[in-house]
């Protein structure tokens, strides 16, 4: 029997029905690896039941977006200390931001005007800054410091991340009971340890946004067409078919992607825009993943910093603004918390190349309406009292931010959080977020919906408990789409929509279905009759 015939044979299908997931992984020689690579494309897959059990047992509709600023962001030229401006200028005669180019946040701090697109977020109470974030005895290596931030420890023998350990502690059946959806989506930064558990990585990770978009659009991981017509091609096809069948997250990502639509204000030439637009579509499509991680590189500004840093912060500012504009349009912005982080800050004094060298403490920025007001959290490090290398002395341990996010945003169990922080307890920060805040319960957001029959028409009557974006479609019993009758933010209250007679056409006699898509939640369907 030829290879291609065998692939489609009953015998082949029967073998697969008996071939367990772990057996398949062992046969390929990658058991426990959590990743498959083809060429330069890498994909890591979550093998945990965390999504359906861990976070959903408390808050089911919140997402966290981690924005990694790779290279070491210069915090002093991001959030400028007005309270000691003369010292700031003296330390940076050639690269400081002049007062005329600053946007005041309060009497003590400002941000450069090339971050102007963040100003509405600040004014609307959707942005906070945490000052002086770092750790004891800072390491100036990109790799080691990144590992410290990801693993929450300086112990080089520990190769797990803070989120990975949290998931490990909470769910022990991750190999035998995989979830229906990925816990986390990670674009780029495959070497980051944040999602690494003791036996697997807890993220669906792709090397680029283009790779994720391909998966989202096609619903498969790997192309099984256009392969060489030879034994080698058959072998590749066989392996790719198995991979597509085994790692089924591609299909749920594809479904979520198709359940949403593009927001046309993203810049296609902006890589961060591309990443965040994909994140937004998956959130809007109801994927259900709790954590997303994107990255923006280029922050290792040893030379020509003014021009390079300005471009980077402009990109960051523009991307965050359009991301939240997108989410707001669909009524989901208050369900998404974002934060920036970097492996370290930069040295206080400029170098001889109009740049800055590796430093220590730096600010962390947070975004989202859930913050319930703007503000500067924590004391800023002194610009004069520096460590031996001329770096800022940190005022706040970065693990306090992790603990606060897990506790107040993702509503994690305190015991598991402490274990994720390697047995240490860190103080909670007053970020404005609260686990007990009202959130959307998608099971109750539309408690009532029904077809109402009149003498000459049929209407849809529904009640919605919270402002939210919904779509309403009509289908016949063969699944054919007979029109979109609503696609917008729907205000809280009772509403009526025409079904049998609408702007598109008058329906012929027969049986139909209306489909209500609650963005981020479940579809609601019922049949109705047109006489």
CATH code for the domain in which residue 308 is found? 3.40.720
| pLDDT 10s digits, 409-434 | 998 888 889 889 999 999 999 999 98
Give the C-alpha distances (Å, rounded to integers) separating 517 from 66, 461, 469, 525. Answer: 28, 15, 9, 9
- Cβ pair 187, 206 in contact under 8 A: yes
Residues 371 and 480 reside in one and the same domain: no
Residues 164 and 209 reside in one and the same domain: yes
pLDDT at 44 over 60: no
Which among 48, 445, 287, 296 is positioned nearest to 278, based on CA atoms? 287
Q: Helix (H, G, I), strand (E, B), or coil: what is residue 486?
A: strand
Tell me if 27 is assigned to some domain. Answer: no
In angstroms, the CA 348 to CA 78 distance is 13
- Cβ pair 412, 171 in contact under 8 A: no
Q: Provide DSSP, 424-479.
A: ---PPP--S--TTS----TTTSS-EEEEEE-SS-EEEEEEESS-EEEEEEEEETT-
Tell me if 17 is assigned to some domain. Answer: no
Residues 513 and 364 reside in one and the same domain: no
Tell me if 20 is assigned to some domain. Answer: no
Give me the domain span that covers residue 485.
448-530
Provide the token pair at 209. Answer: 């946004």
Average pLDDT over residues 466-494: 87
The confidence band for 60, taking pLDDT boundaries of 50, 70 and 90, is low
- Cβ pair 348, 390 in contact under 8 A: yes
In angstroms, the CA 392 to CA 133 distance is 10
Average pLDDT over residues 242-269: 79
Domain total of the chain: 2
| pLDDT 10s digits, 226-236 | 667 776 666 66
Tell me if 10 is assigned to some domain. Answer: no
Do strands 481-490 and 63-69 pair parallel, antiparallel, or not at all (unpaired)? unpaired
The confidence band for 170, taking pLDDT boundaries of 50, 70 and 90, is low
In angstroms, the CA 369 to CA 432 distance is 10
Average pLDDT over residues 436-459: 80
Residues 398 and 279 reside in one and the same domain: yes
pLDDT at 8 over 70: no
Provide the token pair at 213. Answer: 């978009």
Average pLDDT over residues 303-323: 98
Tell me if 490 is assigned to some domain. Answer: yes
Residues 372 and 260 reside in one and the same domain: yes
Lowest mean pLDDT among 22-31, 321-330, 366-375: 22-31
b/e map 260-281, b = 16+ CB within 10 Å: beebeebeeebbbbbbbbbbbb
Residue 25 CB partners (closer than 8 Å, separation 6+): 31, 32, 33
Residues 356 and 500 reside in one and the same domain: no
Q: Which of 405, 420, 435 is the last residue of a domain?
A: 420
Residues 190 and 283 reside in one and the same domain: yes
Tell me if 40 is assigned to some domain. Answer: no
Average pLDDT over residues 226-254: 65
Residues 127 and 177 reside in one and the same domain: yes
Residues 207 and 342 reside in one and the same domain: yes
Tell me if 234 is assigned to some domain. Answer: no
Tell me if 335 is assigned to some domain. Answer: yes
> Any idea what the CATH number is for the domain that residue 479 is in?
2.60.40.2550
- Cβ pair 247, 45 in contact under 8 A: yes
Residues 402 and 504 reside in one and the same domain: no
pLDDT at 38 over 50: no
Residues 263 and 410 reside in one and the same domain: yes
Residues 210 and 318 reside in one and the same domain: yes
In angstroms, the CA 119 to CA 105 distance is 8
């Amino acid at each position: 029997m030829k290879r291609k015939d065998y692939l489609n044979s009953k015998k082949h299908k029967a073998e697969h029905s008996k071939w367990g997931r772990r057996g398949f992984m062992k046969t390929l020689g990658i058991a426990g690896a959590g990743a498959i690579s083809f060429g330069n494309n890498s994909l890591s897959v979550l093998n945990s039941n965390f999504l359906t059990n861990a976070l959903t047992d408390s808050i089911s509709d919140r997402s966290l977006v981690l924005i990694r600023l790779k290279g070491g962001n210069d915090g002093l030229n991001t959030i400028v200390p007005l309270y000691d401006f003369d010292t700031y200028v003296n330390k940076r005669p050639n690269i400081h931001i002049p007062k005329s180019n600053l946007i005041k946040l309060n009497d003590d701090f400002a941000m450069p005007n090339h971050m102007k697109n963040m100003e509405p977020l600040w004014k609307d109470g959707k942005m906070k800054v945490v000052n002086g974030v770092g750790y004891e005895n800072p390491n100036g290596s990109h790799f080691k410091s990144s590992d410290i931030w990801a693993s929450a420890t300086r112990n080089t023998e520990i190769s797990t991340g803070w989120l990975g350990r949290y998931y490990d502690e909470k769910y022990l059946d991750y190999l035998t009971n995989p979830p229906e959806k990925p816990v986390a989506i990670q674009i780029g930064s495959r070497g980051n340890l944040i999602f690494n558990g003791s036996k697997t990585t807890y993220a669906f990770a792709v090397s680029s946004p283009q790779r994720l978009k391909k998966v989202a659009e096609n619903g498969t991981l790997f192309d099984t067409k256009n392969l060489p017509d030879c034994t080698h091609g058959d072998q590749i096809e066989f392996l790719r078919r198995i991979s597509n069948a085994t790692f089924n997250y591609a299909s749920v990502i594809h479904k979520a992607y198709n359940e949403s639509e593009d927001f046309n204000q993203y810049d296609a030439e902006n890589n961060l825009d591309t990443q965040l637009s994909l994140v937004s579509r998956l959130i809007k499509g109801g994927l259900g993943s709790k954590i997303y991680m994107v990255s923006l590189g280029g922050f290792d500004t040893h030379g020509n910093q003014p021009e390079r840093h300005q471009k980077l912060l402009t990109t960051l500012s523009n991307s965050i603004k359009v991301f939240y504009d997108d989410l707001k349009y669909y009524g989901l912005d208050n369900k998404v918390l974002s934060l920036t982080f970097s492996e370290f800050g930069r040295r206080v004094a400029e170098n001889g190349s109009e740049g800055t060298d590796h430093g220590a403490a730096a600010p962390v920025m947070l975004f989202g309406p859930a913050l319930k007001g703007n503000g500067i959290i924590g004391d800023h490090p002194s610009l004069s009292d520096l460590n031996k290398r001329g770096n800022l002395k940190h005022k706040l341990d970065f693990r306090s931010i992790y603990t606060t996010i897990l506790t107040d945003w993702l509503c994690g169990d305190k015991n598991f959080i402490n274990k994720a922080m390697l047995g240490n307890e860190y103080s909670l920060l007053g970020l404005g977020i609260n686990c007990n805040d009202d959130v959307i319960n998608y099971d109750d957001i539309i408690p009532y919906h029904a077809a109402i029959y009149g003498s000459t028409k049929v209407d849809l009557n529904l009640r919605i408990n919270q402002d939210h974006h919904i779509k309403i479609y009509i289908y016949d019993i063969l699944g054919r789409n007979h029109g979109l009758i609503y696609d917008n933010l729907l205000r809280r209250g009772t509403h009526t929509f025409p079904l049998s007679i609408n702007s598109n056409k008058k329906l012929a006699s027969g049986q139909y279905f209306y489909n209500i898509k609650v963005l981020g939640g479940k579809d609601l369907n019922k049949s109705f009759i047109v006489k």
